[in-house]
Amino acid sequence: MTYPTVRSVMTTPVIAVTTDAPFKEIARTLAEYRISAVPVIDDSGRVTGVVSEADLIRKEEMRGGLDHLLSTTHRARSRKAHAATAARLMTSPVITIGPDATAEDAASKLGRADVRRLFVVEGDGRLAGVLSRADVLRLFLVPDEVVRERVLRAVPAGVTATVSEGVVTLGGRVERRSQALSAIRVAWALPGVVGVAGAVEHEVDDVDPGVA
């Protein structure tokens, strides 16, 4: 059984800028493509950082003079406000993920890091794509009839399934308890599944160590 990978749901190609990209080029890129952040790559295509709208806005934020730059926080902001290239503007390191990671891993990483996107990099660090929260959410937009077909193909014979709004209700009867438990795990792992309910009956409890 094949589970969705980052490669199968990521957006590619990715708009990126080089480390020597000037401020206005970055601003134009964000505006033209209507994106809120852009990855920064080196000459080899490896991701070195990311520049966001917030990084650029600091230049306007600091325009009012020097009195408000005395605190440590404001001095740090001032450094970005006076930066002229991507190398000075960018935030680094970047939170990344590999293209062969599962979509489940990506969703977990997005949640733990509390970020809007993950940049997808190959083993050598080269940029391969970008995965946003919206990309992950699209996995749930699978019609119920398609979800049901996938469930029935994946679970053991004897298991029945109905699907409503992404919730799979399992039923039927199988020979072994391990098959019933497997059906639940398999159903949960399929794209478009929001929840799993119901119960699959079994004849032999082969999960119990006392049963040969």
Task: Please check whether residue 209 lies inside any domain of the structure.
Answer: no
Phi-psi region of 125 (alpha: psi -120 to 50; beta: other; left: phi over 0): left
How high is the pLDDT of residue 191?
87
Do 13 and 103 lie in one domain? The reply is: yes
Strand partners for 46: 126
Q: Residue 78 has what pLDDT? A: 57
Stretch 128-138: mean pLDDT, rounded? 93
How far does the chain reach from its first CA to its final CA, in angstroms? 28
Residue 73's pLDDT is 54
In a domain, 65, yes or no: yes
pLDDT for 4 equals: 85
Residues 88 and 162 in one domain: no
150 and 102 assigned to the same domain: no
- Boundaries of domain holding 28: 6-139
